[in-house]
Amino acid sequence: MTRRTCLGLTLAAVLLALGSACEKTDAPAEPVWGKQACAHCGMLVGDRRYAAQAVLAGERKYFDDIGCMVLWTDEQKSRPERSWVRAGDAWVDAAQARYASGAKTPMDFGFEARPASAGSAGVGWDEARAQLLAKAPAKGKGQ
C-alpha cells in the first residue's frame, strides 16, 4: 500500500468516526432492531410497537418496553433531554403521546403508546409514568 493510500484511508476512518460521534440527538433514530440491547433490562429491542428511546447527557439509549425507559430514567436521577416512544409506525415525543394500558409488552409493563390526536384514548405521560413507577417494585430490573 502506498503512503498516499494509507493516509487517505486513515483520513476516511477519522472522518467516519467524527461523523458518528456527532449524531443528532434532537430527533429520534432507529435502533438496530433485534440486535440493540435495552439499556434497562438487557433484552433485545425487537418489537417496534413498544420501543422507546431517550437521550441523556448527549447519549442515546434504547428500550424494549416503555416501562424500562421510565425505570431507567428514574434510576438516573436526571430527566432526559429528549425521549420518544413508538406509536404505530412513527416515533413520537413521549410527553405528547397517549398511553393505553393492557397491552402484552416485552417486560409486561402493559403500556402501548398512541399518537396524541383528538380521539386517542388512554392517559397522558405523567399518569402513565406514575402507574409504571408504582409497578416498579413488583417488576424490578431484568424480570
Q: List the domain boundaries for the chain.
A: 25-139
According to DSSP, residue 92 is labeled E
Which of residues 9 and 108 earns the better pLDDT score? 108
Q: Which three cell numbers stand for residue 143?
A: 424480570
Provide the pLDDT for residue 21: 47
In tens, the pLDDT along 50-100 reads 999 999 999 999 999 999 999 999 999 888 999 999 998 999 999 999 999
pTM strictly above 0.75: yes
Cα–Cα distance for residue pair 135/141, rounded to 1 Å: 12
Cell of 44: 433485545
Pairing status of strand 90-93 against strand 98-101 = unpaired
